[in-house]
Structure 1
Amino acid sequence: MTTLRTPGPTLGVVGGGQLGRMLAEAAAPLGVEVVVLDPTPDCPAAPVARDQIVAEFDDEAGIRELAARADVLTFEIELADQDVLERVSEDSGTPVHPDPATLETIHDKLVQKRTLEDAGVPVPPFRAVDGPDDVREAIDDYGAPVMLKARTGGYDGRGNVPVESKADAAEALESVAGPAMVESFVDFKREISVIAVKGDDETAAFPIGENVHEDEILRETIVPAGSEEAVEQRAREVAEDVLGVMEGRGVYGIELFEAPNGDVLLNEIAPRPHNSGHWTIEGAQSSQFEQHVRAVLGWPLAATDLRSPTVSVNLLGDVDKSRDAELRNVDRVLETPAANLHWYGKRQVRPLRKMGHVTLAGREGETTEELLETARELERAVTFTSE
């Protein structure tokens, strides 16, 4: 067995947003230093990382500098360029986890779905779209509505357009503005997710979370989910199958649909820590961010057990246009027992931009319903406006 020592290695992270920030926070107690690469000077991760390289996510010279300063490379954003990462890794000898091949699979949602379907992972019916007639044919076959998705570049619901009728097909396709695919609309009972971890020779998964979206943006995560045990077991099995397809170590956010009949269908995968796993910082024996650091370095994974019922709510920009960020009524959160504020350090607030989150880990006797009611009150209280 390899002897691990701290202070330890340096982790190079492509992306310095809130995920990079929380990765650096989790790495520090392990004796791991973090250097991030991000095009925004003084990015959200900068105050807690060892250093920042200011460069675009696909800037080869910048990524080569990052590789020269790191023992392992990883990424917190899918805009990282898989070809550049692979080339730099081969030339420098600095490994990348998850593997760039996985990033290539994830980048294109059509490729992602085909790869997973071929591996036996249950997915909703889908097809490629070359023009409005393909959308109309999908409505004939799947029924209305259908979900039109941009194959690349979409995240946080961007690039996802429900198409209610054949008459809307052309306009919806134009709004996607690029290669697209279409899926059958899933009449789900609830949306759930598994934060799964692929280590050197082991895997792990956190308890299943139930997710609440509005306008295709995640608003709330509740753990434990309200699913039956048989559904949760099936979700864990699907997550394990997904890990078998993915190449490279790290955390994978696996979003799933729970159908009314108890079936579990895959929605999408993020090859990185995920918004629906933020609750793990207070609610589990280890956080998804600590697990990602451990996994990409090839270290043993930590326990993922639930500490207590936990809910997490996102703090979104409630403004009508971009402005300097100033979060108000923070005292409402700070004076609430067991409420935990996470501020992402973004200088500008925009409509519905993720600016932070609040987590409540239950104390003895508290239910997720009670926690969620309190969390919603706190979310409504904090604001970015002076009105």
Structure 2
Amino acid sequence: MTTLRTPGPTVGVVGGGQLGRMLAEAAAPLGVEVVMLDPTPDCPAAPVARDQIVADFDDEAGIRELAARADVLTFEIELADQDVLERVSEDSGTPVHPKPSTLKTIHDKLVQKRELEDAGVPVPPFRAVEDADDIRGAIGDYGAPVMLKARTGGYDGRGNVPVESKADAEDALESVAGPAMVESFVDFEREVSVIAVKGEDEIATFPIGENIHEDEILRETVVPARSSEAVTERAHAVASDVLEVMDGRGVYGIELFETREGDVLLNEIAPRPHNSGHWTIEGAQSSQFEQHARAVLGWPLGSTELRSPTILTNLLGDVDEERRAELSDIDRILETSAAHLHWYGKRQVRPLRKMGHITVSGETEDADVEALLAAARDLEERVTFRT
């Protein structure tokens, strides 16, 4: 094994949002420098990264400059152009992790589902959509409602439209720009996720988290999930199977449905650190961001062991229109010993925009999850962006 030293190498990251910011924060103690590429000058990650290249996510000249300054490239946003990354990697010799081929698979939800189904990963019934008749046919086969999804570009529930009846098919299809697919609607007990890590020759999974959404946006993650031991074991098994399909090192956010019958079905995959894994910063022995830095560099992975039960609650914009971002009444968070505030450095707040998060961790391994959840909700409700 190669002897590792610090100060270490440089990681080039396409994207400089909150994920890039927290990745740079986690890489710094390891002696790893991070250079970002992002089109927004002084992006959220800029204050904690070594440097920023101001360029679009598909700007080949900018990505070539990034590759020239880095030992490995990665991305924190799926808008990274997979073809450009592949070309630049081949020409420069700078590896990309996860691989651009994985980004291609993830980029199109229909391609993603087909490849995973072919690999034996359990997924809800689905089909491609060319016209409204395909939606009506799916309702006839799967029952109503069904979930219509944009194949590309959707996140935080954007591009996902429930279709309640055949009469709604035309309007639903018009609301989804571009190619679409349709899935049967899963009557789930809870939504869960596994943050999984693919290293050089090892894999690791964090404890399963339970995700609470409202308006298709993640509001809270409860760890450990309030699931049975059998469901937990099955979720980890499915996550391991997913990693077999993915090509390249790094962290993968694997979103799952726990059905009322106790089955586990794959929802979607993010080939990067994921919002539902932010709890790991305080709640696990090593965070998902540290793990991503280790993995893309080919370094040994850290421990994913749970320190203590932990709650994540997102701080979303509670405003009616865009305005300067300023979070008020944070005193209670700072005064609570088990609470931690994370601010993402975004200058403008918009309705329901993710601006930061709070974690609340237990003091012991058997801390009461329900009490922690109540405490986290109380803290979140006390802060506001309204003036």
The answer to whether TM tops 0.5 is yes
**Letter in structure 1 aligned against 2:335:** E
2:288 matched residue in structure 1? 288
Structure 2 distance, partners of 1:47, 1:266, is 36
1:348 matched residue in structure 2? 348
1:336 matched residue in structure 2? 336
Structure 1 distance, partners of 2:209, 2:84, is 34
2:205 matched residue in structure 1? 205
What secondary structure does 1:189 align onto? strand
CA deviation string 1:223-253 (max 9, x = no partner): 0101111111111110000000000000000
Structure 2 distance, partners of 1:276, 1:141, is 33
Displacement after TM superposition at 1:366 (Å): 3.1
1:119 matched residue in structure 2? 119
2:73 matched residue in structure 1? 73
What secondary structure does 2:4 align onto? coil
1:143 matched residue in structure 2? 143
Structure 1 distance, partners of 2:152, 2:274, is 18
**Letter in structure 1 aligned against 2:303:** A
TM-score (norm 1): 0.99
1:193 matched residue in structure 2? 193
What secondary structure does 1:268 align onto? strand
Structure 2 distance, partners of 1:313, 1:361, is 12
2:59 matched residue in structure 1? 59
% identity of equivalent residues: 83
Tell me if 1:230 matches 2:230: yes
Structure 2 distance, partners of 1:190, 1:140, is 26
TM-score (norm 2): 0.99
Greater displacement, 347-356 / 365-374: 365-374
2:371 matched residue in structure 1? 370
Structure 2 distance, partners of 1:382, 1:92, is 47
Displacement after TM superposition at 1:363 (Å): 1.2
Greater displacement, 112-121 / 324-333: 324-333
**Letter in structure 2 aligned against 1:294:** R
Structure 1 distance, partners of 2:206, 2:375, is 24
Q: What is the aligned length?
A: 386
Structure 2 distance, partners of 1:337, 1:33, is 31
Tell me, yes or no, if the aligned pair for 2:325 and 2:346 is still in contact at 8 Å: yes
CA deviation string 1:17-42 (max 9, x = no partner): 00000000000000000000000000
Structure 2: gaps (5+ residues): none
Structure 2 distance, partners of 1:134, 1:347, is 43
Structure 1 distance, partners of 2:261, 2:112, is 25
Structure 1 distance, partners of 2:363, 2:294, is 29
CA deviation string 1:320-373 (max 9, x = no partner): 111110111111211112100000000010000000000011113631100100
What secondary structure does 2:188 align onto? coil
Tell me, yes or no, if the aligned pair for 2:308 and 2:367 is still in contact at 8 Å: no
| Mapping of residues 101-116 of structure 1, within 5 Å | 101-116=101-116
Where has structure 1 moved over 6 Å in runs of 4 or more? none
What secondary structure does 1:133 align onto? helix
RMSD between superposed Cα atoms in Å: 0.6
